[in-house]
Amino acid sequence: MTIVPKRLGVKFNLKQTPKTQPADIVPIFQRWIQEHRVEGMLIDVIDYKHVPDGPGIVLIADEADYAYDFGYGEAGLHYVRKRDLPADFAAALKLVFHCALLGAQALEAEAPEDLIFDYSSVKINFLDRMNYRNEPAVFDEIEEALRAVLSDIYGAAVGLSRVHDDPRRLFAARAIASPDAIDLEDIGARLHESRQLV
């Protein structure tokens, strides 16, 4: 059985460099707290835009963080689930994927012409060095399970690779689906349904 990591993150990158500045995201996230725009027990917004290639602007929640993130020089929406992950790996990944998707779509809706995410490529971060050392063997062990869940999510085959070679970095995998095969409504519906089942 595939171990559920202590923390699990999913990041969608932006397709292009946006005109929207990181500082513009602060009021958006603060309004999200007022309006409960995304799920979770939303607590606060923290601004790290002064740090190069950092977590950017982070919406802190009790069980998860939503970050307008610049890690590794890639701007995107990074959702990190910190607690209350289902005990089953597939269910956990689907939950995190779904929350990240909803978060990215919510952000896209704030500036539809500018903040456009590439949903065909997703980075999955395993924030758990105890159970997921960043080694090729770990990727080999998890590849099949990961591919099965992601293919299920996308409704299509996905390419899968380990992201970082440096063993000190967090273990992360990138999945790429054919952009033609992506139907976000279908993906959302499938994920919603799977969460209902859980």
Partner 1 sequence: MTSWKELLNDKIPAEMGNLIDTYEAQMELRKQGKLDEKVFAEARLRKGVYGQRYDNGQRHDGVRTRDLLYPSDEVVKGPDTLWDAPGMQRIKIPYGGMTAEQLEALSDLADEYSDGILHITTRQDIQLHYVHIDDTPDLMRRLAAVGITTQEACGNSVRNITACTLAGVCHDEVFDVSPYADAMTQFLLGHDDVQDFGRKFKVAFSGCAGHACGLVKMHDLGLLAQTREIDGETVRGFTVFVGGGLGTVPHQAKVLADFCTEEQLLPLTQAIARVFARLGEKKNRNRARLKFLVAKLGIDEFRKLVREELEIVPADPRHTDYIDRVSDFVNAPAKAGMALNGAALPDGFAEWYRSNVYKQVQPGYSTITLNTPLGDFTSEQGFALADIAREYVGDNIRLSVEQNVVLRWVADADLPAIYRDLCAIGLGDANAGTIVDITTCPGTDTCKLGIASSRGLTAELRARLIERINLLPDAVRDLKIKVSGCFNSCGQHHVADIGFFGNSRRSGNHKMPHFQVVLGGQWQENAGSYGLACGAVPAKCVPDVLEALTERYVAERAEDENFQAWVKELGRKEIKAMLQPFTKLPSFEEAPNYFSDWGDSRVYTIDDIGVGECAGEVVSLFSMEISKAESTHFEALLALDDGDYTLADENAYKAMVLAARALVRTKYLDVGDDYSNIVDEFRSRFYDTELIYDRFAKGKFARYLFKRHAEAPARIDQDYAHQIIDETQLFIENVHTAEQRINGVIVG
Residue 41, SS3 per DSSP? coil
31 binds partner 1 (CB under 8 A): yes
CB atoms within 10 A of CB 5: 25
* Cβ-proximal residues to 35 (8 Å cutoff; 6+ apart), any chain: none
Find the binder of partner 1 among 60, 149, 158, 177 (CB under 8 A).
Answer: 60
Q: Which of residues 122-141 bind partner 1 (CB under 8 A)?
A: 127-131
Q: Give the whole-angstrom CA distance, residue 180 versus residue 10.
A: 21
Length reported for the chain: 198
Closer residue to partner 1, CB minimum distance, 17 or 168 = 168
Alpha helices in 67-114 (DSSP H): 89-110
Q: Find residue 11's DSSP bridge partners.
A: 78, 123
Q: Which of 21, 44, 157, 198 binds partner 1 (CB under 8 A)?
A: 44
Told to check if 8 binds partner 1 by CB under 8 A, we report: no
Rounded to a whole number of angstroms, the minimum distance from the CB of residue 47 to partner 1 is 5
Q: Is the CB of residue 126 less than 8 Å from the CB of residue 5?
A: yes
Query: Would you give the binding string for partner 1 spanning residues 166-185, x where CB under 8 A is met?
Result: x-xxx---------------
Of the listed pieces 31-39, 109-117, 145-153, 185-193, which binds partner 1 according to CB under 8 A?
A: 31-39
CA distance 33 to 35: 5
Question: If binding means CB under 8 A, how many residues of this protein chain bind partner 1?
Answer: 42
Say how far apart CA 189 and CA 154 lie, in whole Å.
Answer: 11
**Residue 78 Cβ, how far from partner 1 at the closest point, in Å?**
9
Q: Does 87 bind partner 1 (CB under 8 A)?
A: no
Nearer to partner 1, 45 or 177 (CB): 45
Query: Where on the phi/psi map is residue 164: left (φ > 0), alpha (ψ -120 to 50), or beta?
Result: beta
* Interface contacts to partner 1, rule CB under 8 A: 3, 6-7, 23, 26-27, 30-31, 33-34, 41, 43-44, 46-55, 58, 60, 62, 65, 67, 71-72, 82-84, 127-131, 166, 168-170
